[in-house]
Structure 1
């Protein structure tokens, strides 16, 4: 195997691993959110939920930014990815949209719980 072939194989392997990692489904709420929301009674409870949702929004926003960088890479150097360039660009765009929906939903939930905490005072 020559150096160029080895380099191409390594690049394909690295990109495939990155692609597969990007396919992982996010778990924006590792705790039982139904129970946490139903048991929230005090301003402190609602502020804790607001903080949880805000953190989930920040985590999803980091994914949005990461996939925007990947999309820019796939667009700027599409010649490296051959026929797959368009597929990878579409994949990144879909993930950006998906994670942005998570960001928006979590920010809304954080805002609602902050308002509930204020109303409970």
Structure 2
């Protein structure tokens, strides 16, 4: 029982570490946003933000599945399961916000692309 929980904690930790790379605004993106002048520039940025939103949506769904598993099998996890549920809920909220913000940025750049034409 404890070894299964230990393995599960390691897997979750690995997922958390890998999902920390959610920053949609790297230094290159900041420069790309500042330099965007043409319709094509804004379309490319819109596609970038839409692709990023899709990636965040996928991670969101993964964490929703994990959360549901913790809830359905909570009797097996005890107190540590509650902690894992809490972490999953936090990540779900974070990914939901990331999806929303990326889609807003994509819409904004699509609008700018249409205005530049």
Query: Is 1:11 matched with 2:7?
Result: no
Alignment deviations for residues 60-113 of structure 1 (CA, whole Å, 9 cap, x no partner):
011110000000000000111111111111110000000111000000000000
Q: How many residues align?
A: 114
Q: Distance in 2 between matches of 1:101 and 1:26?
A: 15
Say if 1:75 and 1:89, in contact at 8 Å, map to a contact too. Answer: yes
The corresponding residue for 1:40 is: 36
The corresponding residue for 2:73 is: 77
RMSD across aligned positions (CA): 1.4
Larger Rg: 1
Q: Which runs of 5+ in 2 are unaligned?
A: none
Q: 2:14 aligns with which of 8, 13, 21?
A: 21
Q: Which runs of 5+ in 1 are unaligned?
A: 1-7
Moved over 6 A (4+): none
Say if 1:53 and 1:110, in contact at 8 Å, map to a contact too. Answer: yes
